[in-house]
Homo-oligomer: A and B are copies of this chain.
């Protein structure tokens, strides 16, 4: 597929510096770009590569345009424009509709003709799919689960029974949605399992990374709101609620019955305790451990257990690296004072 710079400029509201008839066919990095490719500059650290780029065009912001040696598409949000151009040039592969003869379909399923069900996929009884849903090879969808239009499960995904997934979601391989939450009650002879009778409710436009797990609710549902983006190997416990458009990097863990607000950014490998809430518009640095509710929007970091406003936390981090030195200084002070009082 070829798209002209003129079309791109018009479609995404960019100011074009260059020939509108120049066509691009694929994306590339600044440094590896060659003829016919389009690239972007959105992260300052790659700016030194701009002057030597061989791309046909670069999407960038106004401040960088003067140094661009090739055609430029100027936007206040170059990365978003790049995302949209890349989506046009590299559409998701579509195997076309149909049910593979090696798929296994339960009784009473609703499967529109526009769906694609791959080899080895297993749909248990009563599964309801919307239009153009894709179920990848060897993925399993449990009883009475419903999946909205244009949602796609990649290979080896597992969805338990009674889960609801919205439209235009993308679920990567190894994801498990709807497994039992960790509910156990202590009795004298050991643990008694607490049945997990809630479901999982995932809204529209959610993407879920490889091997992430989202447990079903203990009684009510676990809820993932619209536009949430989850990276790989995240753990969402039972009855968690994640607000709209919140994004979490890989390896995050959220404990049971915790509410995370909308438009939050949760750094990788952060952990959040159970039964607390984090308000909207909170940013957590990577590796943060949140033990108590956060009620004020802002950026936070900190570990273990005491989360701080991020500036204060960064100072403490530096001090941590000086702890041994500080301890020696305290000891020296003590000695000086002792000497002074011994020798009045």
Identify the A interface with B (CB < 8 A).
Answer: 26-29, 32, 39, 43, 45, 77, 79-80, 82-84, 86-87, 90, 92-93, 100, 102, 104, 118-120, 122, 124, 136-138, 140, 142-143, 154-156, 158, 160-161, 170, 172-174, 176, 179-180, 182-187, 190-195, 197, 205, 207, 209-211, 213, 215, 219-220, 226-227, 229, 231-233, 235, 237, 244-245, 247, 249-251, 253, 255, 268-269, 271, 273, 275, 285-287, 289, 291, 301-306, 308, 312, 314-324, 326-327, 329-330, 333-334, 336-337, 340-341
In the assembly, what is the distance between CA of A141 and CA of B40, in Å?
Answer: 32
Q: Is the CB of A287 within 8 A of B316?
A: no
Nearest 5 interchain pairs by C-beta = A104-B119, A315-B324, A158-B173, A319-B323, A140-B155
State how many copies of this chain the complex holds: 3
In the assembly, what is the distance between CA of A39 and CA of B142, in Å?
Answer: 27
Q: Is the CB of B122 within 8 A of A122?
A: no
Q: Is the CB of A186 within 8 A of B45?
A: no
A177: min CB distance to chain B, Å: 9
Contacts of A205 on B, CB cut-off 8 Å? 190
A337: min CB distance to chain B, Å: 5
Contacts of A120 on B, CB cut-off 8 Å? 104, 120, 122, 138, 140
Contacts of A100 on B, CB cut-off 8 Å? 104
Contacts of A330 on B, CB cut-off 8 Å? 326, 329-330, 333
Contacts of A172 on B, CB cut-off 8 Å? 176, 179-180
In the assembly, what is the distance between CA of A207 and CA of B316, in Å?
Answer: 39
In the assembly, what is the distance between CA of A230 and CA of B124, in Å?
Answer: 27
A87's nearest neighbour on chain B, judged by CB, is B195
Known: A158-B154, A213-B232, A286-B273. A136 touches B140 (CB 8 A): yes
Q: Given B84, B92, B173, B322, which contacts A327 in the complex, CB threshold below 8 Å?
A: B322
A237's nearest neighbour on chain B, judged by CB, is B250
Q: Is the CB of B118 within 8 A of A137?
A: no
Q: Given B158, B192, B321, which contacts A306 in the complex, CB threshold below 8 Å?
A: B321
